[in-house]
């Protein structure tokens, strides 16, 4: 019987690592009929509620497992969804920046010597415009994710549930919320990353728009006039914000598409690749996925799906540093030629399944399989993003 378990993984991961995990945690790792839905924050809960109000997806009753490859018509539908959502994101960014720029012009005219009133008018309008902009972007991204799920036959709320694991995956994509790093109690996505690099990455991401606007204003002032009015320089933010919004929206929807088609691609490929797998091959396959998680420094939901499926199907559970590259390479040495090719295929699949291939993943694949196999990753990634499924990479090179 299908059961749903809601677990706060920030607590449960630590409990499992200390060897005192409770029954719900053990069921997640052992019982194939259990769907785990991690606890959500306020923003994610709001996203769930909005998605729920948009109505059911998969109206024709086609389950996720029944459709592996997107048709030409579905691919065109997805492109149209992305195209118009990106356009709206750029437009609302331009309107928001324009409202702030107009407020700056009037504030400078009305309060040239009163800094308090200037910032009350300019800051108030800018803050209001920014809040409306962010609210619209969140809503429109959720609406686009709902339409993408519908086009890909992904049921977000099966059996009328208010929450589901798949809905959480899509909400986090739409709202740019990070994947829970402790969703799996055994794989550490930050094994190869220092805390300083993680902090710098967050600061760089958050500061890109501000830096872009500042550099553009300096450039305009240098080119046109050193004495240009401060207020008119605010209009520089209009195209910068529009372009940035469009780029971010495109990235968000690309990620949503990867999450929508990932589970069906996994269920299409993994059962064939790991049919009658030996315990050694099953362990090596889990280490392959763990290495990709560490290389990307992100526990992507598609990686988690792979790990859960392999543990459930094989009965083998690798708990001793499954993300360690040296141990993965040692496990390959203990396989015969056929099993080694399968393990390499699993690694290549894991490198692709999150929608991006890192330099570390490519370098490791080159080391274990050669340049020719590593060079094919980009084309396979493109095919996967286009909804054409996954195949055997090593078989294509033989």
Digit-coded pLDDT (tens) for 310-364: 988 888 888 788 888 889 999 999 899 999 999 999 999 999 998 888 888 888 8
The reported pTM is 0.76
pLDDT at residue number 215: 57
pLDDT at residue number 219: 58
Structural domain contains residue 221:
no
Pair 133, 241 in one domain? yes
Distance CA 64, CA 158 (A): 11
3-state secondary structure of 61: coil
Question: CB–CB of 293/265 below 8 Å?
Answer: no
Structural domain contains residue 296:
yes
Structural domain contains residue 234:
yes
Structural domain contains residue 391:
yes
pLDDT at residue number 10: 37
pLDDT at residue number 194: 54
Pair 158, 278 in one domain? no
Please tell me the total count of domains within the chain: 3
Question: CB–CB of 266/302 below 8 Å?
Answer: yes
Pair 74, 12 in one domain? no
Pair 250, 333 in one domain? no
Distance CA 284, CA 344 (A): 9
Pair 75, 23 in one domain? no
CA dist list (Å): 4 to 32, 35, 99, 195, 299: 11, 5, 47, 34, 21
Pair 322, 248 in one domain? no
Q: Which domain holds residue 32?
A: 1-39
Pair 251, 373 in one domain? no
pLDDT at residue number 29: 42
Report H helices in the chain.
9-17, 23-30, 42-53, 72-110, 115-151, 165-174, 195-223, 230-233, 237-273, 279-296, 301-314, 325-333, 337-353, 359-369, 371-375, 377-385, 393-397
Pair 70, 169 in one domain? yes
Distance CA 300, CA 294 (A): 11
> Which residues does 291 contact at the CB level (< 8 Å), separation at least 6?
323, 324, 325, 328, 347, 350, 361, 364
Question: CB–CB of 141/253 below 8 Å?
Answer: yes
Closest CA to 230 of 364, 342, 122: 122
Name residues of the chain where pLDDT drops below 50: 1-37, 67, 198, 202, 205-206, 221, 225, 227, 398
């Amino acid at each position: 019987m299908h059961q749903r378990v809601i677990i706060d993984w920030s607590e449960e991961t630590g409990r499992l690592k200390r060897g005192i995990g409770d029954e719900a945690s053990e069921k997640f790792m052992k019982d194939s009929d259990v769907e785990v839905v991690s606890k959500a924050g306020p923003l994610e809960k709001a996203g769930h509620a909005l998605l729920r109000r948009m109505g059911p997806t998969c109206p024709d009753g086609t389950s996720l497992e029944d459709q592996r490859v997107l048709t030409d018509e579905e691919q065109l539908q997805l492109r149209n969804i992305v195209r118009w959502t990106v356009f709206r994101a750029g437009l609302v960014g331009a309107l928001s920046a324009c409202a702030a720029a107009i407020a700056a012009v009037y504030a400078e005219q009305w309060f040239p010597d009163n800094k308090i009133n200037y910032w009350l008018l300019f800051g108030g309008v800018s803050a209001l415009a920014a809040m409306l902009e962010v609210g619209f972007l969140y809503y429109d991204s959720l609406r686009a994710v709902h339409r993408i799920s519908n086009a890909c036959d992904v049921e977000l709320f099966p059996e009328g549930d208010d929450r589901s694991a798949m809905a959480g995956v899509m909400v986090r994509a739409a709202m740019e919320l990070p994947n829970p790093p402790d969703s799996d109690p055994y794989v550490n996505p930050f094994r190869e990353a220092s805390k300083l690099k993680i902090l710098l990455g967050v600061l760089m991401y958050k500061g890109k728009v501000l830096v872009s606007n500042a550099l553009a204003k300096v450039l305009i002032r240098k080119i046109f006039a050193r004495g240009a009015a401060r207020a008119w320089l605010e209009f520089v933010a209009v195209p910068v914000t529009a372009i940035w919004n469009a780029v971010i929206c495109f990235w968000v929807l690309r990620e949503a598409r990867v999450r929508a088609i990932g589970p069906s691609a996994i269920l299409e490929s993994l059962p064939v690749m790991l049919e009658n797998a030996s315990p050694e091959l099953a362990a090596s396959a889990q280490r392959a996925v763990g290495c990709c998680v560490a290389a990307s420094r992100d526990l992507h939901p598609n990686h988690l799906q792979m790990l859960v499926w392999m543990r459930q199907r094989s009965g083998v559970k690798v708990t001793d540093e499954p993300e360690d590259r040296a141990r993965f390479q040692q496990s390959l040495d203990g396989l015969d030629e056929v099993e080694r090719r399968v393990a390499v295929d699993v690694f290549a699949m894991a490198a692709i399944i999150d929608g991006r291939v890192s330099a570390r993943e490519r370098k490791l694949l080159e080391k274990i399989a050669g340049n020719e196999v590593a060079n094919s990753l980009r084309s396979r990634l493109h095919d996967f993003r286009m909804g054409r499924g996954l195949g055997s990479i090593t078989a294509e090179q033989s």
